[in-house]
Amino acid sequence: MTFQELKPKVTAITSNNSLTRDEKLLIICQLLNSSIEYYNWVGFYFANHDTKTLHLGPYVGAETDHTVIPFGKGICGQVAVSNDNFVVPDVAAQDNYIACSFTVKSEIVVPLFANGQNIGQIDIDSHVIDPFTEADERFLEFVNEEVAKLY
């Protein structure tokens, strides 16, 4: 399914008033995971600015031990500090990478802003080296704009 075809589906999920926020996030994770072949782990992390940590929210994919990540640590932690998208074409070449699984070859993390503050991020792992393009970044920014309406 193309990104253009997915956009109205994402909007329909975030607009569904019969679902809780976490249910909406989980369904978005499921949609992306099942619709985009190289999205092998899809999840949201949310920031606690008091403790400077990220906390795992709804996700789809292999179980992870990384339920709390300090700001600055790993790709997700770096995005919590930089507020910028971070695309890692090959995790093996990245110094500050927290290994989740030997099957993960690349990662993309896009920050989630609500009311001008970085409140978290969407994190996607792939079992393929270098699959993410600018189109992925723009699409995930759209997803996060829709998710931000829930906050």
Q: Which helix (H) or strand (E) holds 7?
A: helix 3-14
pLDDT digits (tens, 9 = 90+) for 55-82: 999 999 999 889 999 999 999 999 999 9
pLDDT of residue 97: 63
How many structural domains comprise the chain?
A: 1
Residue 113 belongs to domain with CATH number: 3.30.450.40
The arithmetic mean of pLDDT across residues 134-138, rounded, is 98
CA distance 69 to 84: 17
Percent of the chain exceeding pLDDT 70 equals 95
Residue 55: HSE in the Cβ half-sphere, 13 Å Cα cutoff: 7
Rounded to 5°, the CA angle 103-133-39 comes to: 35
pLDDT digits (tens, 9 = 90+) for 69-121: 999 999 999 999 999 999 999 988 876 666 666 788 999 999 999 999 999 99
Domain coverage including residue 125: 3-148
pLDDT of residue 103: 82
